[in-house]
Amino acid sequence: MIEVQNVFFTYPTANVEALKDVSLKIDNGEFVAIMGQNGAGKTTLIKQFNGLLKPSKGNVLVDGVNTREISVAQLARTVGFVFQNPDHQLFSETVEDEIAFALKNFGFNEEIIEKRVTWAINLLDLTEYRKTSPFMLSGGERKRVALASVLAWDPNVVILDEPTIGQDHKQKERLLQFIIQLNSQGKTVIIVTHDVEFVAECNPRVVLMVRGQIVANGEAKQILTNPDIALKACVVPPQITQIFQGLADLGFPADIIDVSEAGKIIFEHLELEGRKR
Amino acid sequence: MSVFEGFRFRHISSPVHRLDPRVKFFFVIVMFVAAVIFFELLPLIVLFTLPLPFVWLGGVQRPWMKSLRGAMFLAVFLFVFNLVFGYFSPSTVPYGMVPLEYATAMLLRFLVLVESFSTFFLTTSPDHLSLALEQSHVPYEFTFAFTTAVRFVPVLAEEAQTIMDAQKARGLELERGNFMKRVRNYIPILIPLIVSAIRRSLELAEAMESRAWGAVKKRTNLYVLKLRRGDLMLIIISIIILAAALYVRYFVYPLPTITMLLPK
């Protein structure tokens, strides 16, 4: 469980308050999307979760332990963090070594490392690249290697910073399935994203940030379809919501974000219309 | 990172900022030469005070202090090193000084170098610098490479920080282990940093070519550097410093040291 209690944070070099009195509680096994404009403080907030940044004021507790009292390496064991740009972490000669790096840092023995590496490679469909240099892979594949290198040590919490950037539709679809699968295995999944359509599809709890503050926190359905909140946070509602809101005068509900649900409603509506004639 | 911070230029307007960068660089070279030819404490104290008026006039006291603080670690290292060596092999200490004075002088010499270079970089914009190089007939390719390098230092510093964060999040502990282990700990940071710097430079080259870099052989500039009264004054001051330093070095003998001046 991650508890953020009245956290303020100021970057020492920039002298800008990036977080202003942020409080948030994320339970075990939750799926949370943190959204907001560029510079709203999303990345600053998630870096508090694994101790990369420590609050200037207030406390962050991970499983009841204050992040000030424990090293990033120790926290990383429970909180896995996948950075936005895989090029910021890949350095090994082979994909295999890359994935084993963190496991070695955490002091697993050879046998377990071997087993975990194989498991992570299969999980992310990287078997054919096992002995390839990560620098030879495409952008999307590098991203998967980065993800595998974090999932390999099986952290309870997985944080993904902008996982959908630079991924084509098919990869996004797979990522979605993957995240849902992780979450259903009881992992806490936290994503930071601008991708409204992606969030609409996976329907997590949404935390919306504006200028270092949390302005909305609740179900995706409520937040993404609320025009006031959306305007404040510069979030454009999903396309299907926009269509439905445009058709409100025909009696369509205004809080639809799921495309298949929308389809069902339209069919029912058409059937009803047909019967009337 | 604070050392870089102390060398980063900020746009302010002051009499020092408006000086011709070539003249300012001449002053820095003079300071450099003067600092290197002395190993006595007294002249180095004098040298240390010389750039101070420029720091005040330029209004860069705070970043300047930061650069000195950034250099402190190395300075203290030099000091301790010279002090220890001075006591264990007194022959390394020049005649007429106790090791403490000699070590202090070496510390101050280092600070004089840092101080004059940081004053130069803090009061000279990268654009000005490239202009100076260009008008000293350095080929534009080199000028451009130089300014680009200067401009990318803060970018790289930021990137290094992100990479450090990313590896720490994978359980890397930089401060753990003996000396060799600690050096090896930096490999996971250096490789991504170098790879991304190379990638970035390739991208930059492509972006430049797609914007027709080098299409015009003869370049013109909006601003042309011209020597003004202030510049002439600084040239004269620099020449006086140089002449005085050379005179004192070669004609004043023996140069008094504090050890000699103190009553026995």
| DSSP notation for chain B | -HHHHTT-------HHHHS-HHHHHHHHHHHHHHHHH--SHHHHHHHHHTTHHHHHHHT-HHHHHHHHHHHHHHHHHHHHHHHHHHHH-GGGSPTT--HHHHHHHHHHHHHHHHHHHHHHHHHS-HHHHHHHHHHTT--HHHHHHHHHHHHHHHHHHHHHHHHHHHHHTTT--TT-SSHHHHHHHTHHHHHHHHHHHHHHHHHHHHHHHHTTTT--SS---SS-----HHHHHHHHHHHHHHHHHHHHHHHS-SPP-HHHHS--
Q: Calculate mean pLDDT across residues B221-241.
A: 90
Contacts of A50 in chain B (CB under 8 A): 169
- Among the partner-chain residues B5, B165, B191, the one whose CB lies closest to the CB of A91 is B191
Q: Is B172–A135 a contact, with Cβ atoms under 8 angstroms apart? A: no
Same domain, residue pair B188 and B139 = yes
Between helices B41-49 and B21-37, what is the axis angle to 10°?
160
Give the bridge partners for A187, in sequence order.
none
Question: What residues contact residue B219 under an 8 Å CB cut-off, 6+ apart?
Answer: B134, B140
| Residue where the block lists tokens 């000005």 | B128
Q: Calculate mean pLDDT across residues A247-254.
A: 84
Contacts of A13 in chain B (CB under 8 A): 1, 5
Q: Which tokens belong to A241?
A: 């919501």
Q: pLDDT, tens digit, for every residue of A211-231? A: 999 998 988 888 888 888 888
Quote the number of domains for chain B.
2
- Among the partner-chain residues A52, A101, A153, the one whose CB lies closest to the CB of B168 is A52
Q: Calculate mean pLDDT across residues B212-229.
A: 84
Q: pLDDT, tens digit, for every residue of A158-169? A: 999 998 887 888
Same domain, residue pair B201 and B190 = yes
Same domain, residue pair B119 and B129 = no
Same domain, residue pair B172 and B202 = yes
Confidence label for A76 from pLDDT (cuts 50, 70 and 90): very high
B5 touches chain A (CB under 8 A): yes
Q: For chain A, percent helix, then strand, then coil, each to nearest 5?
A: 45, 20, 35
C-alpha R_g of chain B: 22
DSSP secondary structure code for residue A101 in this structure = H
Q: pLDDT, tens digit, for every residue of B61-89? A: 888 888 888 888 899 999 999 999 888 88
Confidence label for B264 from pLDDT (cuts 50, 70 and 90): low
- Domain span at residue B197? 125-224
B153 touches chain A (CB under 8 A): no
Confidence label for A26 from pLDDT (cuts 50, 70 and 90): very high
In total, the C-beta contacts within 8 angstroms joining chain A to chain B are: 63
d(CA B140, CA B133): 8
Is the per-residue pLDDT at A274 higher than 90? Answer: no
Which pLDDT does position B1 carry in this prediction? 45
Read off φ and ψ for residue A270, nearest 5 degrees. Answer: -65, -40
Contacts of A83 in chain B (CB under 8 A): 162, 165-166, 169
Q: Is B5–A106 a contact, with Cβ atoms under 8 angstroms apart? A: no
Q: How many CB atoms lie within 10 A of CB B5?
A: 15
Which pLDDT does position B35 carry in this prediction? 94
Which pLDDT does position B8 carry in this prediction? 66
Q: Is B188–A149 a contact, with Cβ atoms under 8 angstroms apart? A: no
Question: What residues contact residue A45 under an 8 Å CB cut-off, 6+ apart?
Answer: A4, A19, A22, A24, A34, A209
Confidence label for A270 from pLDDT (cuts 50, 70 and 90): confident
Q: How far is CA B227 from the centre of its chain?
A: 24
Q: Calculate mean pLDDT across residues A238-249.
A: 87
B175 touches chain A (CB under 8 A): no
Is the per-residue pLDDT at A15 higher than 90? Answer: no
Same domain, residue pair B219 and B162 = yes
Report the CATH number of the A2-236 domain: 3.40.50.300
Is the per-residue pLDDT at B4 higher than 60? Answer: no
Contacts of B167 in chain A (CB under 8 A): 89
In whole numbers, what is the pLDDT of chain B averaged over residues?
87
Q: Is A88–B170 a contact, with Cβ atoms under 8 angstroms apart? A: no
Same domain, residue pair B109 and B235 = yes
Task: Give the residue extent of every domain in chain A.
Answer: 2-236, 238-277
Which pLDDT does position A95 carry in this prediction? 94
Residue of chain B nearest A71, judged by CA positions: B173
| Residue where the block lists tokens 């003869």 | B218
C-alpha R_g of chain A: 21
- Among the partner-chain residues A52, A71, A85, the one whose CB lies closest to the CB of B173 is A71
Q: Which tokens belong to A49?
A: 């979760």
Same domain, residue pair B220 and B231 = no
Is the per-residue pLDDT at B227 higher than 90? Answer: no
Which pLDDT does position B5 carry in this prediction? 58
Q: Where is A31: in which H helix or E strand?
A: strand A31-36
- Spatial contact of A81 and A159, defined as CB atoms under 8 Å apart: yes
B159 touches chain A (CB under 8 A): yes
Distance from CA of A103 to the nearest CA of B (A): 8
Same domain, residue pair B238 and B129 = no
Same domain, residue pair B142 and B105 = no
d(CA A25, CA A4): 6
Same domain, residue pair B11 and B110 = yes
Which pLDDT does position B144 carry in this prediction? 86
B169 touches chain A (CB under 8 A): yes
Q: How many CB atoms lie within 10 A of CB B185?
A: 17
Q: Is A89–B191 a contact, with Cβ atoms under 8 angstroms apart? A: no
Q: What is the pTM of this model?
A: 0.75
Terminal-to-terminal C-alpha distance of chain A: 56
Same domain, residue pair B57 and B41 = yes
Cα angle value B189/A79/A11 (rounded, 5°)? 60
Question: What residues contact residue A131 under an 8 Å CB cut-off, 6+ apart?
Answer: A94, A95, A96
Q: Is B171–A149 a contact, with Cβ atoms under 8 angstroms apart? A: no
Is the per-residue pLDDT at A13 higher than 80? Answer: no
Q: Which tokens belong to B24?
A: 């300012």
- Spatial contact of A47 and A193, defined as CB atoms under 8 Å apart: no
